[in-house]
């Protein structure tokens, strides 16, 4: 097949595991490796309190504004959740949406009108998207001694990890709400926040669906042979997204003891859905598909198949939603569009 040579150069995923229980042991090692070398180890966080601050009524949905008090070693940090729920009795599947901006009316109507709850938080409300480690949740985690990314221990968490851990805490609380079907909670993010969604899926079994929209480099895309952004680019511009160890692989990606299929596979046997865009060469839609292919053996250990296989590179219009890993490639630019949301909603409906 056209992808065989790429797959042949990747670090071995299964490590000889042949059964789900052998994979579970392997999985612990892979999670540890990915934390130590790429995103940093999770911070010690607890949910110290939750308050419902405000409730409202929209066109066919109910809104809630909820505050999470997150306690870390050096302090407490408050994160705001923006929730919209269909205005009807009963529990709904839900999206935890790690977002750049508050969801607009069109998105809220699409999600709630499709019978889903939406729980969004703004990632910058957790911690700033820059090298300042002293404020927000980062400040509460690291205290006074860490001011810049370089001040952290080599495997100390980066900001992707903090955003991901916040998504996990939000899901934990959400799963106890009567309007949420706890067995059908998805996590979704775009680009840097798609990387974050994959890390959240790796950390918490709470997520039945892990949705990575155009996450590319250090997300769903296989690094070896990837076009566009490389480890050297991303660690130069965004060192604070990762732990300091990751930058050691800049320019020598072939020596990494892992690749991004490990991250995707950490969500097995739950569902992973990847979205890609044709013009998004920086992320590399083909490398994202290769990530799905290379992660698929983890699902095979559970009797599944992973992603549907193509005998050619993916092309715009491909929607591969038959397997436990979904993938679509659409025409157009790097963005989380309503069209992408429609794909994710239809995948979840199809797979129940
Ligand atoms: C880019 C970055 C990508 C991607 C993107 C985004 O500048 O190089 O890895 O994460 O930002 O988050 O929009």
pLDDT of 305: 98
User: What band does 243 get if pLDDT is binned at 50, 70 and 90?
Assistant: very high
Protein residue with its CA nearest to atom 8 in ligand 1: 234
Whole-number Å distance, alpha carbon 239 to ligand 1 midpoint, is 12
**Residue 201 pLDDT more than 90?**
yes
**Residue 141 pLDDT more than 90?**
yes
Q: For residue 233, give the ligand 1 atom closest to its CA.
A: 8
**Residue 53 pLDDT more than 90?**
yes
**Residue 352 pLDDT more than 90?**
no
pLDDT in tens, 80-131: 999 999 999 999 999 999 999 999 999 999 999 999 999 999 999 999 999 9
User: Cβ(212) to ligand 1 under 6 A?
Assistant: no
The residue count of the chain comes to: 352
Give the Cα separation of 66 and 37 in Å (integer). Answer: 34
pLDDT of 62: 97
pLDDT of 108: 98
Q: What are phi and psi of 81, to 5 degrees?
A: -105, 140
User: What band does 151 get if pLDDT is binned at 50, 70 and 90?
Assistant: very high
pLDDT in tens, 55-81: 999 999 999 999 999 999 999 999 999
- Mean pLDDT score of the chain, rounded to an integer? 98
User: Cβ(216) to ligand 1 under 6 A?
Assistant: yes
Would you give the DSSP letter of residue 41?
A: B
Supply the residues annotated as catalytic. Answer: 191, 334
Whole-number Å distance, alpha carbon 218 to ligand 1 midpoint, is 10
Residue pair 220/191 in contact (Cβ under 8 Å)? The answer is no
Give the Cα separation of 73 and 340 in Å (integer). Answer: 38
């Amino acid at each position: 097949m056209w992808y065989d040579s790429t797959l042949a150069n990747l670090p071995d995923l299964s490590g000889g595991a042949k059964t789900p229980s052998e994979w579970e042991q392997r999985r612990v090692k892979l999670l540890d490796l990915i934390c130590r070398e790429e995103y940093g180890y999770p911070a010690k966080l607890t949910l110290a309190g939750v308050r419902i601050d405000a409730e409202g009524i929209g066109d066919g949905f109910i809104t809630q504004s909820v505050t999470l008090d997150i306690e870390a070693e050096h302090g407490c940090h408050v994160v705001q959740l923006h929730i919209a729920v269909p205005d009807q009795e009963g529990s709904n599947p839900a999206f935890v949406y790690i977002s750049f901006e508050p969801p607009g009316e069109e998105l809220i109507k699409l999600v709630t009108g499709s019978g889903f709850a939406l729980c969004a938080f703004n990632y910058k409300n957790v911690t700033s998207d820059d090298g300042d480690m002293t404020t927000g949740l980062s400040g509460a985690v690291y205290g006074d001694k860490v001011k810049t990314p370089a001040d952290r221990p080599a495997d100390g968490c980066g900001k992707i990890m903090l955003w991901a851990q916040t998504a996990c805490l939000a899901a934990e609380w959400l799963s106890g709400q009567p309007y949420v079907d706890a067995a059908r909670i998805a996590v979704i993010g775009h680009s840097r926040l798609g990387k974050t969604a994959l890390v959240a899926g790796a950390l918490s079994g709470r997520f039945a669906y892990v949705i990575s929209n155009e996450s590319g480099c250090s997300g769903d895309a296989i690094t070896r042979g990837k076009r566009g952004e490389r480890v050297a680019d991303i660690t130069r511009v965004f060192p604070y997204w990762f732990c300091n160890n990751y930058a050691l692989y800049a320019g020598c990606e072939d020596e990494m003891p892992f690749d991004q299929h490990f991250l995707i596979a950490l969500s097995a046997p739950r569902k992973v859905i990847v979205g890609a865009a044709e013009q998004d060469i920086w992320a590399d839609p083909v490398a994202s598909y290769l990530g799905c292919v290379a992660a698929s053996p983890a699902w095979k250990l559970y009797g599944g198949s992973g992603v549907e296989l193509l005998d050619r590179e993916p092309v715009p219009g491909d929607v591969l939603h038959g397997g436990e890993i979904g993938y679509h490639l659409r025409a157009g630019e790097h963005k989380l569009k309503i069209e992408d949301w429609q794909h994710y909603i239809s995948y979840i409906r199809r797979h129940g």
